[in-house]
A and B are shown apart, each in its own frame.
Chain A
Amino acid sequence: MTTATATFTYSHTVGFLAYRGRGFIHPIALALGDDGVMYVLNRGGPESVGRLEHKRVCICTVDEGYIGEWGTGGTDDGQFWWASDIARAADGRIFVTDEALQRVNIFDNEGNFIRHWGEVGEGPGQFNRPAAIAVAPDGTLLISDGLNHRIQRYTADGEYLGGWGEFGAQAGQFNTPWGITCDADGNVFVADWRNDRVQAFTSGGRFVGQWGTSGDWKGQLNRPASVEVDGEGYVYVADWGNERVQVFAPDGEVAAILLGNATTSSWAEDYLAANPDEQRARAEANLAPAVNPWRDHHREASAGIEGRFWGPTSVRVDGAGRIYVVDSCRHRVQIYRKVVG
């Protein structure tokens, strides 16, 4: 996991399975706040009445402090149904896309609902499953419009500014795009999910380049869900279908492949301490057993080996060299560190 210039090492895990309160249930994305604060968006599911309250934003810190939660499932203002991504603007406003309600909710930094916008359709500004959202350096919002196979740009108040893309596999075309991010110059990176690649564009939407072909070899991608770029030009891809995160160096070479190294978080340790028989049996168990050959597939390996990523849906980096991987089927966030030099 090293290159000449950077090393990526596992740090620790934040999270615990919880329907409410201190923990996550099928987290799908996170936004980073100031001072290590994390806003973890829980998709929850299925959408039965008794489970709607699982859909929420949990606020905690990277060093495992629990701050609180807001939001719930439903169709009213500020409620979530298929919440898909979360982004935080410099002024503290928080944006949440919803693929079922075809809208973007805006909240203040405390989680108070401000307004929403969006309607279903194929026309300019309309949505068909708005998947991911990114705040550009100029404060505008970029949204991957999943089943319309395009990228759209809006003001922070939801005014449509333009967009690009259509269904296809050529440069600049998309197939069910998911993750989206910008670098400091406003260049746009899109996880072109069903095309198994990441595409890069200028801020104006001109195609610049792409990473990945279909497959599970080094550098190949299988349904990439999320993309992030750090200040030095390293590109982080949540290689969802391959159950891993790949880090590409600025020269395009694979700098690291992360499979997941989760350990028990302090929240998990609290649970185990309260359940000593389970704690004892767990301590004696092999949590990385050999996976039965007939299930020797990335997903099945992740289902059987607890420390591995299972459904990594979002990857984010902060200015301190921390890499956050949302481990959706394991209800946690795995934290890595980038060490330069």
Chain B
Amino acid sequence: MTSMQNAPTTPGRIKLADEESNRIAHLLRRAGFGGTRAEIDRAVAQGYEATVEELLHPELQPDLEIEDLIRRYHTDQNSLMLLESSQGYWLYRIINSRRPLEEKMALFWHGLFATAYGKLNHAKAVVNQTHTFRRNGLGKFADILLELSRDPAMIFWLDNKDNHKDAPNENYGRELLELFSMGIGNYTEDDVKAAARSFTGWTIDNAEYMSIRASRDSFWPYGRIDWQFRYRDDDHDESEKTFLGHTGQFDGQEIIDIIIRQPATAHYIAGKLYNFFVSDRPDESAIGDLADEFIRTEGDIRSVMRRLFLSDFFADESARFARVKSPAELVGGTARLAGSHRTPEWTICNLAMDVNFMGQEILNPPTVEGWHTGMEWIDTGNLVERINAAGAEMRDTSRPGVRAIIDRVKSAGDVQSPNQLADSCLNAMGMFEVSEGTFDSLVAMATPWSEVRFDREDTAACAEERVAEMIQLIVASREYQLA
């Protein structure tokens, strides 16, 4: 890959690499948490389509290879009793996973099926739910909904343990239709009632004891006890129901089978995927395209994601940097870039706190609607937090990822002008597209240095410090804060 001599191809935007590299860097930002320069180079070598296929099949990559080390060094992340511990555990996965799309899908489904620690007082139950998303997140949507309906955290979150044959509770049935599959306006109140009755008897073991513990946040005497799904036939309403025009003695699985055949479901899920993976601004044509694929494949999410990543609307330059990174993406992606936390470090709890301070308590979303994304991630306080946290992560030049960036910058030339330094730093970080304004700011920062020299013993250390300063400014840039 060669520098394109800072040639602007769209008004106000400078491209530093060829189109294939730009396209792949975009893919790795969206389907994962951004690629290091080495990861981008590898993906370019194997090609865009092959990289998409690799991402779509996380099961072909090893699972988290430091899971045992995490649990050894963080005893609290072995029990996952506390929310902060569990947030740290997820960050480790984001930072170290060789299955980036698996983690990205888990974040997507977690945002859609938002289940919060705040009501459950059981962090591991929410973590277990995210494992369900890892297992099924690229599978059939029907399987995802079925697993979700049997997930103890969801059963507790939306009160299905209180949904009895003789006293239905409609909370889960309602949200299943409104927030999880079809969207409001595509069903009636009678459909909600029928769905709720169909899920009666889908509960957890020891519901009363677990409810008392949760209500008083009791982890005594010996910590949390994992909840187990239990189907209680004696509490299931077997009577006839009419749901979305179908009539029968439905149970929950049959309700799901009907839901996934609805065009509204295809459109709703397509819209959510588009918003999460493509742009904060909806495009009805593109969403329709994804919905068609959903219908054609009977809700196969892997197929829908393949269509998305191979689409013209995803490749279009207007889609690049069109999404604000969520705090988890920003913090996890920056740690990946810096190469930090590849072995367990106690400072993981600080990273988890950074994510919280930026407004995203993973495993504890604010409401059943999840987080408000896009520009709502940004306010004055959050922006300062985002910039400071990203800069701090890149400050330590001993970190392997930072070291790799410095080494690549050095390989671009022993003596570099401000313009060359900005170019080589961006290239080394896999940041191939920036605005003229961003590039000018980087050059302006380096201008007082006149030049940096890596070839002399008396200037080499200073030159490396200059690189570190430059990459800290780059992660503060608008482009880095976007995906």
Contacts and interface: CB of A to CB of B under 8 A. Distances in A.
B281 interface: no
Q: Which of B76, B220, B222, B224 has the most CB of A within 10 A?
A: B222
A17 B220 contact: yes
Interface string B146-162: 01001000000000000
B84 interface: yes
Contacts of A262: 222
Contact of B88 (A46, A81, A193, A300): A46
Contacts of B212: 277-278, 281
A45 B220 contact: no
Interface string B416-452: 0000000000000000000000000000000000000
Nearest to A241: B68
Contacts of B76: 26, 43-46
A12 interface: no
Nearest to B125: A303
B74 A46 contact: yes
A16 B226 contact: no
Interface of B: 68-69, 71-79, 81-82, 84-85, 88, 124, 128, 135, 147, 150, 205-206, 208-209, 212-213, 216, 218-230, 343, 346-349, 352-353
A299 to B, nearest CB: 8
Given A46-B76, A194-B68, A282-B209, A306 B222 contact: yes
B85 A264 contact: no
Contacts of B73: 82, 99, 129
A11 to B, nearest CB: 17
Interface in A288-310: 289-292, 294-295, 300, 303-304, 306, 310
Given A46-B84, A330-B222, A313 B75 contact: yes
A284 interface: yes
Q: Give 6 nearest A-B pairs by CB, closest first.
A: A268-B221, A45-B76, A329-B79, A304-B226, A46-B349, A281-B209
A331 interface: yes
B75 A311 contact: yes
13 contacts: A44-B76, A46-B76, A46-B77, A46-B88, A47-B346, A225-B72, A268-B221, A268-B222, A271-B220, A277-B212, A303-B225, A306-B222, A329-B75
B151 to A, nearest CB: 10
A337 B312 CA distance: 70
A105 B175 CA distance: 55
Contacts of A194: 68
Contact of A16 (B68, B74, B220): B220
Nearest to A313: B75
Contacts of B228: 289-292, 304
Nearest to A330: B222
Contacts of A26: 75-76, 79
Nearest to B230: A289
Contacts of A99: 73
A268 B230 CA distance: 28
Interface in A44-58: 44-48
Contacts of A316: none
Nearest to B218: A278
A328 B68 contact: no
A107 to B, nearest CB: 21
Contacts of B352: 46
B221 A295 contact: no
A295 B129 CA distance: 11
Given A265-B221, A290-B228, A45 B85 contact: yes
Interface string A306-336: 1000110100000000000000111110000
A170 interface: no
B222 A331 contact: yes
A249 interface: no
Q: Which of A16, A45, A48, A290 has the most CB of B within 10 A?
A: A45
Interface in A237-295: 240-241, 262, 264-265, 267-268, 271-272, 275, 277-278, 281-282, 284-287, 289-292, 294-295
A223 B72 contact: yes
A178 interface: yes
A48 B356 CA distance: 13
Given A292-B228, A292-B229, A304-B228, A330 B223 contact: yes
A28 interface: yes
A16 B73 CA distance: 22
Nearest to B210: A285
Q: Which of B78, B128, B208, B230 has the most CB of A within 10 A?
A: B78
A193 B71 CA distance: 13
A43 B85 CA distance: 13
Given A194-B68, A223-B72, A284-B208, A295 B220 contact: no
A295 to B, nearest CB: 7
B209 to A, nearest CB: 4
